[in-house]
Amino acid sequence: RTTRISTTSQSDPAGRVVITGQPEQVDNPWGITPFKKVVSLPARIDPIQTSAVVSLHGRLLVRVPFEQPNI
């Protein structure tokens, strides 16, 4: 049996990403707790395509594509 974690990611074009996670079952036997992580990146990002997922092994995977410069 596993518990599901709902994740959300918010970002701004300046490169700040806020990732939050909430287990569907707060009182779970695995000790999974809600979390919030803030990451500041050194370059501008594409906030629309930013995503975050928690794997079955508890790893937080974040996809943050860098903004393409207008040429």
In a domain, 71, yes or no: no
Please say whether the dihedral angle defined by the alpha carbons of residues 12, 16, 46 and 19, taken in this order, is positive or negative. negative
Residue at 32 is within a domain: yes
Q: How far apart are CA 13 and CA 4, in angstroms?
A: 29
Average pLDDT, the chain: 79
Please tell me the distance from the alpha carbon of residue 18 to that of residue 38, in angstroms, as a whole number: 5
Q: Residue type at 57?
A: H
Q: How many helices (H) and strands (E) does the chain have?
A: 0, 5
Q: Which tens digits make up the pLDDT trace of 11-20?
A: 777 888 888 8
69 in any annotated domain: no
Residue 10 lies in a domain: yes
Q: Is residue 39 one of the residues assigned to a domain? A: yes
Domain count, the chain: 1
Is residue 52 in some structural domain?
Answer: yes
Torsion over CA: 33, 39, 16, 11 (sign): negative
Confidence of residue 2 (pLDDT cuts 50, 70, 90): low
Residue 43 lies in a domain: yes
Q: Does the residue 46 lie in any domain?
A: yes
pLDDT in tens, 57-69: 778 888 888 777 7
Report the predicted TM-score, pTM, of the whole model to 2 decimal places.
0.65
Q: What is the mean pLDDT of residues 22-51?
A: 82
